[in-house]
Amino acid sequence: MRKKVIAANWKMNGTLEQANSLLDAFAAAPLNVNENKIAVFAVPAPYLMLAKEKLSGNPYLQVAAQNCYSKKSGAYTGEISVEILKSIGINYVVLGHSERREYFGESNAFLAEKVNISLEYGITPIFCCGEPLEIREAETQNAFVAKQLEESLFHLSAEEISKIIIAYEPIWAIGTGKTASNEQAQEMHLSIRAVLAAKYGDVANEIPILYGGSVKASSAVALFAEPDVDGGLVGGASLVADEFIKIINA
Ligand code: PGA
């Protein structure tokens, strides 16, 4: 059975005071998480250790970095290595978010390097893919997303790719309040799984595929009920404790 994953992406938001109160709320809330359904919190780097500490009482609450660099260590001022992440007990990293691709020029090939080093250190990549609006309007989104997967992931072995979490995030739905319909999400998730299955066979059924883009408590139940939607990557709504608790429990 493939795992359900509900991931929070705080992006570049929240002061220390706000981070403390959000983490306290999540640590105290009755959350429907277990070995088949985990919640992952991608917090800004300065709060990684704080988040680890605050959520340590529940093994099904995990902490993720929002990015990492492709090298093990060295003279790369301002970057964070997986070696550093591993040394503070971080087991997940978000890679290839559309904001990283767009504002920081991250290419599919560069992301392949980050995927490799993450897996080498036993850190699970939450690998983001998704099309911009003009691609959706041209109805070429399936091929666009397939190319992202092929160029960043398809050099991996079946065993390696079975350790990855994929997040489909249509760029036109991120932070816009305009979520993809449940049918649009399911259709793309099915397409992603078919692309994975064509290359890797049955392993495709083990890989969680999350949906991201304006997920709210009010939309989560129906969305997560789609057969190939295995959870969500949630931005804005993950910064509101009650809202994100409802999404985890959806
Ligand atoms: P959003 O962000 O939920 O605010 O649309 C999702 C994301 O970018 O991960």
Distance, CA 137 to ligand 1 centroid (Å)?
20
Distance, CA 97 to ligand 1 centroid (Å)?
10
**Atom 1 (ligand 1): residue with closest C-alpha?**
235
Q: Does the beta carbon of 169 lie inside 6 Å of ligand 1?
A: yes
The pLDDT tens digits for 107-144 are: 999 999 999 999 999 999 999 999 999 999 999 999 99
Domain count, the chain: 1
Distance, CA 59 to ligand 1 centroid (Å)?
25
Among 230, 247, 229, 227, CA closest to 238: 247
Please identify, by atom number, the ligand 1 atom nearest to the C-alpha of residue 173.
Answer: 5
The pLDDT tens digits for 45-101 are: 999 999 999 999 999 999 999 999 999 999 999 999 999 999 999 999 999 999 999
Six-digit token pair at 186?
Answer: 């399911």
Structural domain of residue 45, as residue ranges? 4-249
Burial of 183 (0-12, 13-18, 19+ CB in 10 A): exposed
Catalytically active residues, by annotation:
97, 169
CATH of the domain at 80: 3.20.20.70
Please identify, by atom number, the ligand 1 atom nearest to the C-alpha of residue 167.
Answer: 9
Longest CA span, the chain: 48
